[in-house]
Amino acid sequence: MCFTLNFDKTKNWFLVNEENFIHWVKKTNIPWRAINPHIEDTTAKVLTVFARQALQKILSYLKRQDSGQNSDSNKSKITLLPDERAPPFDNVFP
């Protein structure tokens, strides 16, 4: 089961960026200086976890390739982002 909350008129959380938060802050009259440190901290944590998980998936895939576990009938695909709607890497890593 997947829950998706609507944030600044989008349900695609992987597409949310700083501009969405700035728009939200202006609508709610919350000071940007109160929100920005939390956004920066969360972004740093997400990128660290994403990089670690991406590396683990790639290494696992390569290990299966080397051991011959990946035959033509059982090809696995490395999926690092939620799906094809995910943003290109130049938008993910500033």
pLDDT tens per residue, range 11-42: 777 777 888 888 888 888 989 999 899 989 98
Domain region containing 43: 37-66+80-94
pLDDT tens per residue, range 34-71: 989 998 998 888 888 888 888 888 888 888 887 766 55
What is the total count of domains within the chain?
1
> Two tokens at 87?
């943003």
89 in a structural domain: yes
15 in a structural domain: no
List Cα–Cα distances, 80 to 11, 52, 68, in angstroms.
19, 11, 22
5 in a structural domain: no
Q: In the prediction, which pLDDT does 77 show?
A: 60
Q: Alpha helix (H) ranges present in 1-93? A: 18-28, 32-67, 89-92
91 in a structural domain: yes
27 in a structural domain: no
Its pTM stands at 0.51
16 in a structural domain: no
Q: In the prediction, which pLDDT does 94 show?
A: 46
